[in-house]
Amino acid sequence: NDGQAGSHTYQALTADGLFGSVEPPRRSTGRLIMHSLAMFGREFCYAVEAAYVTPVLLSVGLPKSLYSMVWLLSPLLGFLLQPVVGSASDHCRSRWGRRRPYILSLAIMMLLGLALYLNGDAVVSALVVNPRRKLALAISITMMGVVLFDFAADFIDGPIKAYLFDVCSHGDKERGLHYHAFFTGFGGALGYILGAIDWAHLELGRVLGTEFQVMFFFTALMLTFCFIIHLCSIPEVPLTDFAKDISPQQTSGSSPLSSDGMYEYGSIEKVKNGYINPELAMQVGKHKSPAEQPQRAMTIKSLLRALTSMPPHYRCLCISHLIGWTAFLSNMLFFTDFMGQIVYRGDPYSPHNSTEFLIYERGVEVGCWGLCINSVFSSIYSYSQKALVSYIGLKGLYFMGYLLFGLGTGLIGLFPNVYSTLVLCTLFGVMSSTLYTVPFSLITEYHHEEEKERQQEPGWSTGAGSPERGKGVDCAALTCMVQLAQILVGGGLGFLVNTAGSVAVVVIAASAVAFIGCCFVALFIRYVD
């Protein structure tokens, strides 16, 4: 806008750079908060699962030999299939957009998983009379529900992030990621608090039957509400709009300029967002019309080629994300057990009416409050990151998150004490907020830098800028490191605890891995000025 009323200049549509790099419009704070509610609902359900999944599995009589299958099956599926889902969303031609159909499908799978593992035992008990058949069905349905929920909840993070990157300007991506982290911590804190309430002795628990049904009522209501708001927050540009908006004459080299030299608004007017995503525009074709340009399907072979040809700075970012989540999950998955056995000196293998077992249960309850403190401080720190990044940059935020977590877990392991442990739980929140924001902020910086290079050199095409791998695959490659970390933690820490004979080795190992991550993010991660 050069100051004249109604005068808007747009970059010309050429054969080499279709719509150039037209930034999406600025998004209001309200829209970004609506978009972030998906993370609130997801983490709320995650916290409820963390509080109730072990009691549910124990109540249906799941054998200990099947525990490892429950915890390893979902991350294995996620690690293998998440890049495929990310690539499929990059090429989705739904009229509703590229990401939202996948987010809706995965949200429904989360709801179905919650229904199966929280209500499966009650439904089977009401329908089946044979005790042996009832036990087998209850175990099968509960396991299926846990795996389905974990699978969908892990998968959905990638499309949500890619959705944010598609519809927001560069500055709004940063704001959106901070809101995502803030609501992630807030949702987790509320979920842990809700799970700590003894619903069995309250009126709602008596009306709905058991505390498991109360939890399903709240989680289903919260999940449905949050994802409806999220899916209605910001409209997407359907991929098929480009075939309609760009005529063969334009793509073959004819001038798209009107007689007065200004860009004709008609071809953009049909787009609901009022902008053209440059990544989508690159997929239409440079010298062929849409009718002549064959659609290239993403096969497993081409997907693996796109992932293996990932630029080195993307690969290093994935490795650092793997190190961070390995350290974080090593501590978080065993934290309540550490509180019960090491801090409170209880014994989970004692008879259930013994003093040692009751002390252990008390430690587990206090450990849940420690996880709640972690979630609350994660929200607070996520909000303060916007101010800190202007002083210490993304490198400082990344390094500080790993360093503080390494120091906190090391002190907890060396000097186990109730009050100091609860205070140091605040440092867990720094780490979780860092893992949810900084790596994805670096992804947006890399994409932004590549878009600027593409503008300067229209023929430039490599790495994330290539048509074979878009934002969906980049986000999926990053988030599937979480599943790989779960596999490493689930498969390795049990052996480590059995060898050392104490769960204290877990937090010491988490501290050591975090310090390795400090060195890695300082030496090998590429930061954009």
Three-state secondary structure of 482-494: HHHHHHHHHHHHH
- What residues pair up with 263 in beta bridges, in sequence order? 257
In whole angstroms, give the CA distance from residue 121 to residue 142.
Answer: 7
Q: Where are the beta strands (DSSP E) in 51-201?
A: none
Predicted local distance difference test score (pLDDT) of residue 529:
67
In whole angstroms, give the CA distance from residue 54 to residue 62.
Answer: 10
Domains 26-236 and 307-452+470-528 share a fold: yes
Predicted local distance difference test score (pLDDT) of residue 273:
43
Nearest in space to 113 (alpha carbons), one of 77, 66, 85, 152: 152
Query: Residue 153 corresponds to which amino acid?
Result: A
373 token code pair: 């403190």
∠ Cα 238 183 46 (to 5°): 90
Predicted local distance difference test score (pLDDT) of residue 520:
96
Is the pLDDT at 472 greater than 80? The verdict is no
Predicted local distance difference test score (pLDDT) of residue 306:
63
Is the pLDDT at 242 greater than 50? The verdict is no
Predicted local distance difference test score (pLDDT) of residue 319:
93
Confidence label for 528 from pLDDT (cuts 50, 70 and 90): confident
Over range 192-210, report the average pLDDT. Answer: 76
Q: Which residue has the higher pLDDT, 500 or 183?
A: 183
* DSSP code of residue 275: S
Predicted local distance difference test score (pLDDT) of residue 192:
81
In whole angstroms, give the CA distance from residue 330 to residue 334.
Answer: 7
Where along the chain do its domains lie? 26-236, 307-452+470-528
Widest pairwise Cα distance in the chain: 89
Confidence label for 304 from pLDDT (cuts 50, 70 and 90): low
Contact 8, 265 (CB under 8 A): yes
* Cβ contacts of 129 within 8 Å, gap of 6 or more: none
513 token code pair: 């891995």
In whole angstroms, give the CA distance from residue 426 to residue 428.
Answer: 5
Confidence label for 267 from pLDDT (cuts 50, 70 and 90): very low
Predicted local distance difference test score (pLDDT) of residue 317:
93
Over range 432-436, report the average pLDDT. Answer: 90
**26-236, what's its fold?**
Growth Hormone; Chain: A; (1.20.1250)
Contact 436, 181 (CB under 8 A): yes
Confidence label for 326 from pLDDT (cuts 50, 70 and 90): very high
CATH class of this structure's domain 307-452+470-528:
mainly alpha
> Looking up tokens 């890695």, which residue turns up?
520
Over range 494-523, report the average pLDDT. Answer: 87
Is the pLDDT at 268 greater than 70? The verdict is no
User: Where is mean pLDDT largest: 49-53, 271-275, 294-298, 442-446?
Assistant: 442-446
- What share of the chain has pLDDT > 90, as a percent? 22
Over range 278-285, report the average pLDDT. Answer: 45
Over range 472-501, report the average pLDDT. Answer: 78
Contact 215, 50 (CB under 8 A): no
Q: Which residue has the higher pLDDT, 41 or 191?
A: 41
Predicted local distance difference test score (pLDDT) of residue 518:
95
Over range 62-87, report the average pLDDT. Answer: 71
**Among 321-325, 348-352, 463-467, which stretch is predicted with the lowest mean pLDDT?**
463-467
Contact 434, 324 (CB under 8 A): yes
128 token code pair: 């089946």
Predicted local distance difference test score (pLDDT) of residue 67:
62
Is the pLDDT at 461 greater than 50? The verdict is no
- What residues pair up with 257 in beta bridges, in sequence order? 263
> Looking up tokens 């409050």, which residue turns up?
369
**Among 134-143, 157-166, 243-252, 258-267, which stretch is predicted with the lowest mean pLDDT?**
258-267
